[in-house]
């Protein structure tokens, strides 16, 4: 059987992991062109390197209408991850290009990071670590999360995973979502509420909605004003869900107690932002899905999507309805 050509573009940091765990499996089935980059490719670079490709595997590169126009042979664009707000889905659909992701593959990783960020913020772990490294020895009083109220905005795969993982802390859990899964809510004692109640009653608020037009700046100054002064916001979803300027304002006016952010409106973010100066803000560089286990899981799903495409089927993880 003829082997198809596949181009994969991954951040350099994944190179070793890919080579150790996935390279053989991919090369067994496909003729692989593997590119590991230090800096995310620009639109022009994406056109230059992949204009004739049939199969392209990417992560966070911008693939808009212009780029898609330049791809004359592309059959399938595989996202080596979950979010696809960097891709013009409508344009891909019009051109008959499949776009697949690995929905759910990073849910465990993201949920775990959300809890890690919550505890880091509640207990000031990072500042205390840095202080001790600088020779300081201070007592710091944080807050417990046990028996507090957690508000989850977006009870999809990741939000639900967080609910399960955090069960041992005995928190009261409120959720806001446009879709309701009453069975899940019953089983895990989650109470669906409107977004205003979630804002005003939660001690910790964790965001797990996808980035979309409707969710753009869903969390704004108005929302922060409804939050408890002692509350902490955690965002491991997408930066554009939160109005960053409003967040900075809310933090500086002490409308809320702190924030822990893995995602930003622009990535990499502007380092001049006051977010990187406030000492009650934890910031990480979009590492929510970045674990060995999630990367392997995504690899397995990617192989399946490719197989289905080459069998002439619509891949199961296609992100739009054909």
Tell me: does residue 86 bind another protein (CB under 8 A). Answer: no
Shortest spacing between CB 22 and another protein, in angstroms: 13
Q: Which residues, in sequence order, are bridge partners of residue 57? A: 8, 78
Q: Which of 72, 183, 229, 271 binds another protein (CB under 8 A)?
A: 271
Residue 318, Cα to own-chain centre: how many angstroms? 18
> Of the residues 238, 244, 265, 308, which is catalytic?
238
Q: Which of 137, 194, 321, 322 binds another protein (CB under 8 A)?
A: 137
Q: Which of 24, 72, 138, 311 binds another protein (CB under 8 A)?
A: 138
Q: Which of 42, 130, 212, 222 binds another protein (CB under 8 A)?
A: 130
Q: Is 94 a catalytic residue?
A: no
Q: Which residues of 38-70 are buried (b: 16+ CB within 10 A; e: fewer)?
A: eebbeeeebbebbeebbbbbbbbbbbeeebbeb
User: Which CB sits closer to another protein, 97 or 145?
Assistant: 145
DSSP state at residue 173: E
- Compute the distance between CA of residue 247 and CA of residue 121 in angstroms, rounded to an integer: 16
Q: Which of 29, 62, 291, 304 binds another protein (CB under 8 A)?
A: 291
User: Which CB sits closer to another protein, 110 or 153?
Assistant: 110
Q: 298 near 109, Cβ under 8 Å?
A: no
User: Which CB sits closer to another protein, 29 or 164?
Assistant: 164
**At 43, is the secondary structure helix, strand, or coil?**
helix
Name the residue among 306, 298, 305 with its Cα closest to residue 3: 306
Q: 318 near 78, Cβ under 8 Å?
A: no
Which stretch in 121-129, 215-223, 240-248, 303-311 sits in contact with another protein by CB under 8 A? 121-129
For another protein, what does the binding mask look like between residues 295 and 314, x meaning CB under 8 A?
x-------------------
Residue 22 corresponds to which tokens in the numbers above?
Answer: 């996935």
Identify residues 164-193 at the interface with another protein (CB under 8 A): 164-169
Identify residues 201-260 at the interface with another protein (CB under 8 A): none
**From the CB of residue 170, how many other CB atoms can be counted at a distance below 10 Å?**
10
DSSP labels, 166-230:
TGGGT-EEEEE-SS--HHHHHHHTEEE--HHHHHHH-SEEEE-PPP-TTTTT-B-HHHHHHS-TT
Task: Please count the residues of this chain forming the interface with another protein, following the rule CB under 8 A.
Answer: 59
Q: Which of 32, 54, 283, 304 binds another protein (CB under 8 A)?
A: 283
User: Which CB sits closer to another protein, 55 or 121?
Assistant: 121
Residue 130, Cα to own-chain centre: how many angstroms? 27
Give the DSSP H/E element, type plus range, for residue 55: strand 55-58
Q: Which of 47, 70, 126, 248 binds another protein (CB under 8 A)?
A: 126
Q: Is 238 a catalytic residue?
A: yes
Residue 7 corresponds to which tokens in the numbers above?
Answer: 């181009």
**At 88, is the secondary structure helix, strand, or coil?**
coil
Q: Is 267 a catalytic residue?
A: yes
Q: Which of 24, 72, 146, 311 binds another protein (CB under 8 A)?
A: 146
Which residues contact another protein (rule: CB under 8 A)? 11, 13-14, 17, 108-109, 112-113, 115-117, 119-120, 122-126, 128-133, 135-146, 164-169, 267-269, 271, 276, 282-287, 290-295
Hey, which residues are catalytic here?
A: 238, 267, 286
């Amino acid at each position: 059987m003829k082997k198809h050509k596949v181009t994969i573009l991954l951040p350099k940091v994944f190179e070793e992991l890919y080579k150790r765990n996935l390279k053989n499996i991919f090369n067994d089935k496909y003729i692989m062109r593997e590119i590991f980059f230090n800096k995310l490719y620009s639109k022009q670079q994406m056109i230059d390197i992949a204009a004739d490709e049939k199969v392209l595997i990417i992560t966070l590169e911008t693939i808009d209408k212009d780029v898609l126009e330049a791809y004359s042979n592309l059959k399938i664009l595989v996202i080596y991850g979950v979010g696809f707000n960097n891709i013009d889905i409508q344009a891909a659909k019009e051109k008959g290009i499949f776009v697949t992701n690995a929905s759910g593959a990073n849910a465990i990783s993201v949920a775990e990071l959300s809890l890690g960020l919550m505890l880091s913020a509640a207990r000031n772990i990072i500042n205390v670590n840095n202080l001790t490294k600088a020779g300081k020895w201070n007592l710091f009083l944080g807050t417990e999360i046990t028996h507090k109220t957690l508000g989850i905005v977006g009870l999809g795969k990741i939000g639900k995973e967080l609910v399960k993982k955090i069960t041992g802390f005995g928190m009261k859990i409120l959720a806001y979502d446009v879709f309701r899964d009453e069975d899940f809510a019953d089983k895990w004692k989650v109470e669906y509420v409107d977004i205003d109640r979630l804002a005003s009653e939660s001690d910790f608020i964790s965001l797990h909605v996808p980035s979309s037009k409707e969710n753009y700046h869903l969390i704004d100054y108005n929302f922060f004003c409804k939050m408890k002064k002692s509350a902490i916001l955690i965002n491991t979803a997408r930066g554009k869900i939160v109005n960053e300027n409003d967040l900075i304002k809310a933090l500086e006016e002490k409308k809320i107690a702190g924030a822990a952010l893995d995602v930003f409106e622009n990535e990499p973010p502007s380092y001049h932002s006051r977010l990187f100066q406030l000492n009650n803000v934890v910031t990480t560089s979009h590492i929510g899905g970045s674990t060995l286990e999630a990367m392997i899981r995504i690899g397995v799903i990617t192989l399946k999507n490719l197989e289905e495409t080459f069998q002439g089927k619509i891949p199961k993880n296609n992100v739009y309805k054909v």
